[in-house]
Chain A
Amino acid sequence: MDNYLTLLSFGDQGWGDEIAWGVLITVSLALATLPVGLFIGFIIAVAKQSEEWTLRTAADIYTTIFRGLPELLTLFLVYFGLQIGIQQLLKAVGLGGAIEINTFFAGVIALALVFSSYASEVFLSAFRAIPKGQYEGGYALGLRRGRVMRSIIVPQLIRIALPGLGNLWMILIKDTALVSAIGLTDILRQTGVAARVTKEAFLFFGLAFLLYLVLALISSIGLNRLEAYGKRGEQVR
């Protein structure tokens, strides 16, 4: 038992600090992906409602592709693809040498691609839930398109989209575990290294499992609060 406590302690003897660092990486990866994914997802959702068939088609192709590929494959495609692509580009310009892409950066891009294509569907169905009269009322008041979107539509949109986006956030946290495959030192990577070094695989992978569970618990509590906050203006029935 003492043995296990030493293994999990912070400092030279234990793996506590390495794993804490892994938690930090996992959380910051998810937090860095979120705004990027939300932004792209929102743009895609707006494009999907456009009267221009070209915009709609382009947006549909985007979501079809990134919802059809496994997340792990998307990650590898981004990581190796960008690396090879940039190398070819540099070779063409006359610069040589190996290029290594930052794994965190590749992780954010790959996860944002996946997240945004799912988020666009959530935003789209939320857009459809807002009556047309809301837009018309805004235009009747003489507001410009951007202003109608910002002041009238988006506040209602967020409230409707919140449960769906909350689910996507939980999925995002779980998907961050995949970046350990390209060597980013997240929870799973750090516990995996600890397991290999100490030969206590069950202890460390069990710890990773619990850490993810705790992250999910914290998220679901936070999301419930957020949803309650979003609903505070609604009638209590």
Chain B
Amino acid sequence: MSVADTLIKAQPAPPDRAKRWTTARISGTILVMFWVVAAIGLVFYLYSAWDIAKIERYGPKFLSGLWTTLSLVGVSIAIGAVISLPVALGRVSKNPVISRIAFAYVYVFRGTPLIAQLFLIYYGLGSFRPQLEAVGLWLFFRDAWNCALFAFSLNTSAYQAEILRGAIDSVPRGQWEGAAALGLNRLQAFWKVILPQALIVALRPYGNEIILMIKGSAIVALVTVFDLMGETRRAFSRTYDFQAYIWAAVFYFCIVEALRNVWNLLEARLTRHLKR
């Protein structure tokens, strides 16, 4: 019979196994180094290319371009939201004619490039100048900013209608029935019961749509609207200094990232009652 008469002393934890340099680790390290070098290079480039005369001259223009971009996107998103409501209701309508028309509207605007829509409205409507002058709309369509606003509103309304339709579909039918059982008519049920629940589902796609619009709005620079991209192109064509584009990239990147993070916070806040 053997009895242990000595206790083995507590041992320190075994040392971590040395991490092997696998292919994944080597390539990952190289790639991270690449990004780090790229970031340092970017900062260094912007520092060395810093020219106070150019900054003083084009800085305020960039800021006004930024404001043009943001106001254009903000207004067209708002107008698009208003137009999207009837379109989305048309999409879910049981009347085949209405739902086909709504589907065609959505398909046409989602199936063609925004830039083609913009060109069609800005340049194309010029062919109808006499007719437009007769109805007094020419003053509106003469201005590139208005045309961009018009095209963007129609375009985003089609996308927003799809978002809204998907969200309305995602609300269970029992909610409609429950509302009807409480004596609400369909309109009241839609506004007070269905829409609030649908908007929570739609929150994330809406955020994506705003980001897509901010990025897509860069094309107005091609129809002589001086938004952020337009000011960038103007600065580049005058100075032939590539830092204009780098600054534009920094600006756009910051807007999109800020919006993405704000939207994440907003979503977390608005859905806090759904967390378990």
Contact = CB atoms under 8 A, between A and B. Distances in A.
Contacts of A65: 253
B120 A73 contact: no
A80 B119 contact: no
Interface in B111-132: 111-117, 119-120, 123-128
A209 B111 CA distance: 9
B176 interface: no
B215 A71 contact: yes
Contacts of A81: 242, 245
Given A52-B24, A56-B28, A80-B245, 17 more contacts: A52-B25, A54-B25, A58-B35, A61-B35, A68-B256, A72-B219, A72-B221, A77-B245, A175-B113, A181-B222, A188-B116, A188-B119, A192-B123, A201-B124, A202-B124, A205-B119, A209-B112
Which interface class (under 10, 10 to 19, 20 to 34, 35 or more) fits A? 35 or more
7 contacts: A52-B22, A67-B256, A70-B217, A72-B218, A73-B218, A77-B249, A174-B114
B32 A70 contact: no
Contacts of A227: none
Nearest to A57: B32
Contacts of B34: 58
Contacts of A134: none
* Candidate in A52, A69, A70 with the most chain B CB atoms within 10 angstroms: A70
B28 A58 contact: yes
B233 to A, nearest CB: 8
B75 interface: no
Contacts of A220: 111
A81 B211 CA distance: 25
A177 interface: yes
B92 interface: no
Nearest to A83: B242
Contacts of B107: 216
Interface string B244-273: 010011001100110000000000000000
B245 A200 contact: no
Nearest to B253: A68
Interface in B207-242: 214-219, 221-222, 229, 232-233, 236, 242
Contacts of B113: 173-178, 188, 212
Contact of A50 (B28, B117, B127, B253): B28
A234 to B, nearest CB: 23
B115 A188 contact: yes
A135 interface: no
A209 B215 contact: no
A132 B232 CA distance: 49
A25 interface: no
B112 A213 contact: yes
Contacts of A54: 25, 28-29, 31-32
A50 B28 CA distance: 9
B170 to A, nearest CB: 17
B188 interface: no
Contacts of A55: 24, 27-28, 31
A206 interface: yes
A73 B127 contact: no
A19 to B, nearest CB: 13
Contacts of B214: 70
Contacts of A67: 256
B28 A209 contact: no
Contacts of A216: 107, 111-112
Interface string B19-43: 0001011011101101100000000
B108 interface: yes
B116 A205 contact: yes
Contacts of B124: 195, 201-202, 205-206
A170 interface: yes
Nearest to A192: B119
Contacts of B216: 70-71
